[in-house]
Amino acid sequence: MAWLAIAVGIASLVVFGFIHSISPREITVTRMVTAETRIRLYWTSQGKLPNRLSDLPQLPSRDNSIKDGWGGEIEYKTDGTKVTLRSLGGDPKLVASKDIVRSFDVSKERE
């Protein structure tokens, strides 16, 4: 019977102590990093930026979604070789302090 108590205790630790749910913010940041990689690959192969994120090729075994962790579209803007990806976060109103923004220049090495 002691083994059953030990097994239940271990199972409780696994279920309640070690499982980490991924927040919508973390999902968004991960998707933006993947989008940056895809944009850089597109730039390298095509010599130009895509017109929209949906034009990007899929990367195998990656989360290629162009939606943020809340289900909203990730905004994509370009200015020459500069790219800005923006998510409004969980609040659909434009509150800049809560936005998640990733900016980079495809003509420069990744930082």
* Residue 61 belongs to domain spanning: 23-105
Alpha helix positions (H), the chain? 2-12, 24-46
The total number of structural domains in the chain stands at 1
Of all helices (H) and strands (E), which one includes residue 75? strand 75-79
Dist. CA 35–CA 12, nearest whole Å: 37
Residue 48 pLDDT > 90: yes
Q: Does the residue 13 lie in any domain?
A: no
From the list 86, 84, 83, the residue with the least C-alpha distance to 107 is: 83
Q: Does the residue 9 lie in any domain?
A: no
pTM comes to 0.78
Helix (H/G/I), strand (E/B), else coil: 73: strand
Q: Does the residue 30 lie in any domain?
A: yes
* Higher pLDDT, residue 1 or 31: 31
pLDDT-based confidence at residue 95 (cuts at 50, 70, 90)? low
Q: Per-residue pLDDT tens for 23-43?
A: 999 999 999 999 999 999 999
